[in-house]
Amino acid sequence: MTERTKRPKSKVTWSDVKSKLADFDRAGLQQLVANLYVFHKDNQTFLHARFGLGENPLEAYKQRIQASKGLRSVLEGSIPSFSMEYPCHSPTEQRWFVMNVAPVSGEEFGAVVSHVNISAWYDRGVK
């Protein structure tokens, strides 16, 4: 019998991951993504941002640009305030939020940004 020598574990590289992923078929990859999604909230955030799960993949980036422009405009003083609604859906529920930006008045420079869950408005058909 040959004796196996224990090798120290080396770090997994991106090439290692890609070579393993190449073995998956479409259904296998979908299941892997689903498993990653339910495993941890950080995975959910990454997958939504990176892949736009179930949406136009560019929509999340367009919303970020819109929010950034609104915040910058308030900070520059070119508009008095800014507000926008945006979806933040999970696999189990449809969620909507409104972001409000108001300048800080006085000697301090900045803005107050709030995010309010308004999903109930959509559920009741108010929107």
| Burial (Cβ within 10 Å: 0-12, 13-18, ≥19) of residue 100 | middle
The structure's pTM equals: 0.53
Residue 8 lies in a domain: no
Percent of the chain topping pLDDT 70: 69
Residue 111 lies in a domain: yes
Residue 12 lies in a domain: no
What angle, 0 to 180 degrees and rounded to 10, lies between the N-to-C axes of helices 41-51 and 26-39? Answer: 130
Structural domain of residue 111, as residue ranges? Answer: 19-123
Counting the structural domains of the chain, the total is: 1
Residue 67 lies in a domain: yes
Residue 31: pLDDT band with limits 50, 70, 90: confident
d(CA 122, CA 49): 23
Residue 87 lies in a domain: yes
Residue 5 lies in a domain: no
Inter-residue contact 64 to 45 (CB < 8 Å)? no
| Over residues 39-65, mean pLDDT | 67
Residue 9 lies in a domain: no
Predicted confidence (pLDDT) per residue in 53-83, tens digit = 555 556 777 888 999 999 999 999 999 999 9
d(CA 112, CA 101): 6
Residue 11 lies in a domain: no
